[in-house]
Structure 1
Amino acid sequence: MGERIQVLRESRGMTRKVLAGLCGYGPDWLKKIEKGYRELRSHTQLLRLAAALQVSDLSLITGGEAAPVPLGRLHHPTLPDIWDAVMRRNLIRPADGPVDVAVLRGRVDQTWRLWHGSRHNRTEVGSLLPGLIRDAEAAVKALDGAERRSALVVLSDVYRLTGQATAYVAPAELAWVVADRALMAAQDADAPASIAAAAWNLGNILRETAYPEQALETVTDAAELLRPHLTTAPEDWRGIYGALHLNAAVTAAREGREGDAWRHWDTGDRAAKSLPPHYVHASTVFSRANVAFHAVSVATDLKASSQALSLADDIAPDTMPSLERRARLWVEVARGHIQRGERTAALHVMQLAHGIGAETVAYTPSARTVAAELWRTAPRALRPEAAALAEAIGIAAEAA
């Protein structure tokens, strides 16, 4: 079994550290399994490995009978309609009346605000996306010249939003199609800020699909595209520039590259301080508050739990207008407490996270991992609360 795991890992270009980290363990744990020094008897650990390796059949790991496994993709009821809208592209120029790009732009901006402002953002945004995708595609086909370029920027934003709303629930092929279309539309519009925003989205997907080097290259190249123009550029150019460096900081931290992680974070911090105190980028929510939130994420990913919790102590969460980002902050704090073995504190902040962004917790793997760990290991007196959290986000149903 260990040899099979090693072959699968190497065929995907993953280091032991990366694969073990995706399973919630250190590289020594995986090394002992691959070398045959430790038996892998836990079905939960086996499923984690299968999901991290994107293996659809456990027999590829065990060598035994075929046994299908979930690939970490959760079900969401809005996905079929979104899939249909993405995959059924009308190649014929629409015969409808004139398209008002300004109205379409307003609808997309409003939907971004809904994404950041709703506890049930995936459901509410997901129900709007099919119509937005079709209308934005139709606008690009119906218009020419400067209006078409404006429509292409809107289309790129729609596909970026689609990537956000379907993260962890869309199959890999849909994630790649959506990311590629966002970037192509921005490039067709020849809009640097839109290109950079699409690269930010692509960097997220590359990182989550175990391509950290390509993720770093994508976001740093996009940042370099904007850097020569920052002194005279609009505020949003500086906002997306800062967001790209925060994206790079998280990727570097997950790879254990401490120096690179904090270097990128520092660049993002300087970008935030060059903007007005209350500036917030509409889609990435880059801001001074988001820089502080990312410092907690970087420290947690570097396993510096004491530093992460100390940084979190100095944050006022309500300064972040995005409920999605606020919920993610508490998940990072919970991860820090779990690293220190503080399960009572971890359960408390996970309950806060769920109260703020129910679907952010239910559809984010790191949050589900923490909730599952608490369900298994919470102190006896808190097991009913841990079980209630697991049931609320669907972990208990999966186990059943």
Structure 2
Amino acid sequence: MVTAGNSGLGQRIMVLRLRRRMTREILASLVGRSSEWLRQVELHQRPVDRLSVLLRLAEVLRVQDVAGFLALASGEALPSVPPSVARSPETSRAIREALLGSWGDTDGIESPGVAHRVRQDYWSIWRSSARRYSFALSVLPDMLKEARALKARGHPGDAEAFADVHRFAASVLVRMGEGQLALVAIERGLGAGRIEDLASAGAVIRISYGAVLLNNDHADMAARVFRAAGEVLERRGATDDGCAVRALRAEAASATAVAEAARADAVEADRHLMAAEQILAGGPPDLACGSWETTLNRIRSYIRLGRYQPAIRLAERTDVGEQESRDWLAQFFLQIAEAQERSHAPVAAVYSLLQAEEASSEEIRFNPAGGRLAQMLLRHDNALVRRKLWAMLERNGLL
């Protein structure tokens, strides 16, 4: 009934399950299937081919519009959420109040598995869903309120969980151009406890902190934060030289390069880019490691240094066929579109913008970087470019 390539039904099931605060194991057992079966359905890797199972899912998830739910199984796309609804003043106010609320204001708020949902589900949706912005906006207020209760509880492990919740919030907010709120979120995550005791997790949140600082034009401070993350990971690498730690070390080094490029220090930027390469190449001969984030940071560094052609050539050499993260793909194509626009190649830039939109259908609508780039391209005296851009802006409700 639904093909493995259809994104509507699987995403709808995942969203409804999370709203009901159900784990995959619980929902799967209630419909007589395994958690692995449900995981594959939610990630659009297998079909739901029985009407009885669909009806049972609708019943358990308390679907109001059963006909619409079943229509998704026939291949119809999930309807788009207009930005006027998803980013309504009420939604923005709820996120702000949840983030800035008093630490002691936790009466009536519980935190049933918020950390588990963020780690196992929310990050997965953010990286893989075409409508990740709409989803994130729908869960952020409750997620942040539950995190306050988590902080008040003070159980072992809660500091790391609290930090991860706020790192997720900061990642969403910074992509939406809410730099100041993102800074508040990531600083609250850092203040949750002794980040030094969180090993790699502490370095990850430091890298996120540096990215938010850089987005807010604090390049000097961002460079220091990235270096601190690299030092934590270097100590970890003395006992664990696996790909995961090396990829994080390379990410920290290449992020430092981006910050140095933002400071117009080409020598330091190149030095850190070379260090990132050496980290990835310096392990055991039989353990080849790569880092998608390091590739993206290299492109960012080139663009900030005005090296647009090297950025474009690197992109052309990057095989993104195996990259499943819509978040990464959207950022990749937006960066390439910027390099192409600055290289006076507007047709190529529009094509890259369309690739970003294909990776994440809400990217141009919710990410201000996409909208700004579209406005820059409209200045080019090219009828083809303008026609494509007008259609894109109208499609995303930006006209």
Query: 2: CA distance between counterparts of 1:211 and 1:247?
Result: 13
Query: 2: CA distance between counterparts of 1:271 and 1:298?
Result: 18
Report the more deviating stretch, 384-393 or 337-346: 384-393
Query: 2: CA distance between counterparts of 1:357 and 1:186?
Result: 35
Tell me: CA distance 1:237–1:385, structure 2 relative to 1, closer, same or farther (3 Å). Answer: same
- Is the 2:166–2:188 contact (alpha carbons within 8 Å) kept by the matching residues of 1? yes
Root-mean-square deviation (CA, aligned residues, Å) is 2.9
Give the match for residue 219 of structure 2.
212
Residue 320 of structure 2 is aligned with which of 317, 320, 342? Answer: 317
2:239 aligned with 1:232: yes
Query: 2: CA distance between counterparts of 1:202 and 1:96?
Result: 27
2:172 aligned with 1:161: no
CA shift digits 1:173-208 (9 cap, x unpaired): 523321211111252682132322222122112212
Give the match for residue 386 of structure 2.
383
The 5-angstrom pairing of residues 26-45 of structure 1 reads none
The 5-angstrom pairing of residues 24-63 of structure 1 reads none
Q: Shift in Å at residue 363 of structure 1?
A: 3.5
Query: 1: CA distance between counterparts of 2:351 and 2:195?
Result: 48
Tell me: CA distance 1:96–1:393, structure 2 relative to 1, closer, same or farther (3 Å). Answer: closer
Tell me: CA distance 1:176–1:219, structure 2 relative to 1, closer, same or farther (3 Å). Answer: same
Residue 151 of structure 2 is aligned with which of 140, 143, 149? Answer: 140
2:275 aligned with 1:267: yes
Q: Shift in Å at residue 241 of structure 1?
A: 2.7
Query: 1: CA distance between counterparts of 2:293 and 2:369?
Result: 19
Give the match for residue 180 of structure 1.
187
Q: Shift in Å at residue 216 of structure 1?
A: 0.4
2:182 aligned with 1:198: no
- Is the 1:122–1:166 contact (alpha carbons within 8 Å) kept by the matching residues of 2? no
Query: 1: CA distance between counterparts of 2:193 and 2:248?
Result: 14
Unaligned runs of 5+ in 2: 1-85
Query: 1: CA distance between counterparts of 2:245 and 2:93?
Result: 34
Give the match for residue 332 of structure 1.
335
Q: For residue 341 of structure 1, give the secondary structure of its aligned residue in structure 2.
A: coil
Q: Shift in Å at residue 96 of structure 1?
A: 8.3
Unaligned runs of 5+ in 1: 1-74, 280-286
Q: For residue 319 of structure 1, give the secondary structure of its aligned residue in structure 2.
A: coil
Q: Shift in Å at residue 237 of structure 1?
A: 4.2
Give the match for residue 124 of structure 2.
113
Q: Shift in Å at residue 153 of structure 1?
A: 0.5
Give the match for residue 31 of structure 2.
none
Tell me: CA distance 1:181–1:233, structure 2 relative to 1, closer, same or farther (3 Å). Answer: farther
Output the TM-score relative to the length of structure 1: 0.69
Residue 354 of structure 2 is aligned with which of 316, 334, 351? Answer: 351
CA shift digits 1:247-306 (9 cap, x unpaired): 212222233322222222233334444499797xxxxxxx52332333222222222122
Query: 1: CA distance between counterparts of 2:138 and 2:261?
Result: 34
Query: 2: CA distance between counterparts of 1:278 and 1:331?
Result: 28
Output the TM-score relative to the length of structure 2: 0.69
Query: 2: CA distance between counterparts of 1:260 and 1:360?
Result: 32
2:98 aligned with 1:85: yes
Report the more deviating stretch, 289-298 or 342-351: 289-298
Query: 2: CA distance between counterparts of 1:95 and 1:346?
Result: 50
2:294 aligned with 1:302: no
Report the more deviating stretch, 246-255 or 309-318: 246-255
Report the more deviating stretch, 292-301 or 234-243: 234-243
Letter in 2 for 1:253: A
Letter in 1 for 2:266: E
Give the match for residue 376 of structure 2.
373
Aligned residues: 309
CA shift digits 1:110-168 (9 cap, x unpaired): 11111111122221122122222222332332243xx2xx1110110110110111116
Query: 1: CA distance between counterparts of 2:117 and 2:376?
Result: 42
Query: 2: CA distance between counterparts of 1:84 and 1:237?
Result: 36
Letter in 1 for 2:357: H
Query: 2: CA distance between counterparts of 1:260 and 1:365?
Result: 29
Q: For residue 157 of structure 1, give the secondary structure of its aligned residue in structure 2.
A: helix
- Is the 1:79–1:170 contact (alpha carbons within 8 Å) kept by the matching residues of 2? no
Identical amino acids, percent of aligned pairs: 18
Q: For residue 167 of structure 1, give the secondary structure of its aligned residue in structure 2.
A: helix
Query: 1: CA distance between counterparts of 2:236 and 2:370?
Result: 38
Query: 1: CA distance between counterparts of 2:208 and 2:280?
Result: 19
- Is the 1:328–1:353 contact (alpha carbons within 8 Å) kept by the matching residues of 2? yes
Query: 2: CA distance between counterparts of 1:139 and 1:104?
Result: 9
